[in-house]
Amino acid sequence: MMSRPLEGVTVVTLEHAIAAPFCTRQLADLGARVIKVERPGVGDFARAYDERVKGLASHFVWTNRSKESITLDVKQADAQDVLAKLLEHADVLVQNLAPGAAARLGLSFEALHAKHPKLIVCDISGYGDDPANPGPYRDKKAYDLLIQSESGFLSVTGTADEPAKAGCSIADISAGMYAYSNILAALLERGKTGKGKRIDISMLESMVEWMNFPMYYAFEGAKPPVRAGAAHATIYPYGPFPTGDGNTVMLGLQNEREWAAFCQTVLQAPALATDARFDSNSKRVANRQALREIIVQHFASLTTEQALARIDEAHIANARVNTMQDVWQHQQLQARHRWAQVNTSAGPIPALLPPGMNSADAPRMDAVPALGQHTEAILQQLGYSTSDIARMHAEHAI
């Protein structure tokens, strides 16, 4: 059997929505055993976001494959005992409950470290939850769009007339990625020291890290990047342009050599390269509307394929503006065999293999769990008898 990097690592997670589930799914991809603790009867509320994937929620099937689901009412004593036994065998605890909830359940790093000195505890919250430096926002609820707003992302995204959110859960994803990478680093560190540690992940701080370019662009009161729709705010021409057959191509110029090649080969107007309005990127940005009109006029006589052929000939970066259905059929993903299948309670579905091909092992691509699917099996592994399990079911502790 093929060994994966995190085989033998057990992760217990009290998670919902996207940030923590995305983090732990990636740990599962690498072979970790991820035990997802959910509320009896309801589960992770992301299960009910929509019914687009054979009756299952799109967010949930994306972020929860290869996990085991156990249902526990963690406010009941029996369920707390089960959770305590799970943590005896855990390497990592991840949680993104409401502010303060984990501490009230006795799941803070401070409460757990004496009993489980090797346990790594990763807390994911909207604004950070360091008891020594709580900040005024610590207890505020936080969701993806709210953090996109609070981090300044909306101020530089959209059109000149109106801001726009990202089309995917970018703030959740950023927090999930930093949680994932910090847990990997903590596992490496524990291999040297033998000790676990606490990881405090803030959605706001994760997103602001990604905002550092526009923040530095607006350094010391300078004007921030303008909202430029799908075009780049500070490099031009870099963005979408319509073609004569009613489609759109995306292109991006990075330097003056490419600008000269674009004028020569794509626009077939070499004199434009030295036009005083456009002979540097700063001037092209300042005069973007005049330049856009010239480019659109040239592209109006070209089909999409003709425009892309010229852009490729000039060695200018470009892309098609694909729809979701186009991406499902993307030639590059097909050619690189990037699609697999995973099972769900509603049957098999396609799933993208996680980024990062390597020659040593294959990613784990196990089923998306039904709510509480593994409860009895996990309890039996922990030593609970059939009568114990029946009693806890009757008392709605599980």
d(CA 27, CA 68): 13
Q: Is the sign of the CA dihedral 12, 16, 20, 23 positive or negative? A: positive
The length of the chain in residues reads 398
- Measured distance CA(270)–CA(263) in Å, rounded: 5
Give the integer Cα–Cα distance in Å for 231 and 159. Answer: 10
Q: Measuring CA to CA, which residue among 69, 91, 70 is closest to residue 79?
A: 70
Distance CA 151, CA 118 (A): 34
Q: Which of 225, 237, 242, 226 is nearest to 289 (CA)?
A: 237
Rounded to whole angstroms, the Cα distance separating 9 from 46 reads 25
Q: What percent of the residues of the chain are helix, what percent strand, and what percent coil, each to the nearest 5?
A: 40, 15, 45
CB atoms within 10 A of CB 331: 8
Spatial distance between the Cα atoms of 377 and 108, rounded to a whole number of angstroms: 27
| Alpha carbons 216 and 100: distance in angstroms, whole number | 34
Q: Using alpha carbons only, how large is the chain's radius of gyration in Å?
A: 26
**Which residues are tagged catalytic?**
232
Joined together, the tokens standing for residue 367 give 């089923």
Which two structure tokens, joined as six digits, stand for 308? 């892309």
Do residues 346 and 55 touch, judged by C-beta distance below 8 A? yes
Three-state SS letters, 74-115: CCCHHHHHHHHHHHHCCCEEEECCCCCHHHHCCCCHHHHHCC
Do 230 and 239 meet the contact criterion of CB atoms below 8 Å apart?
yes
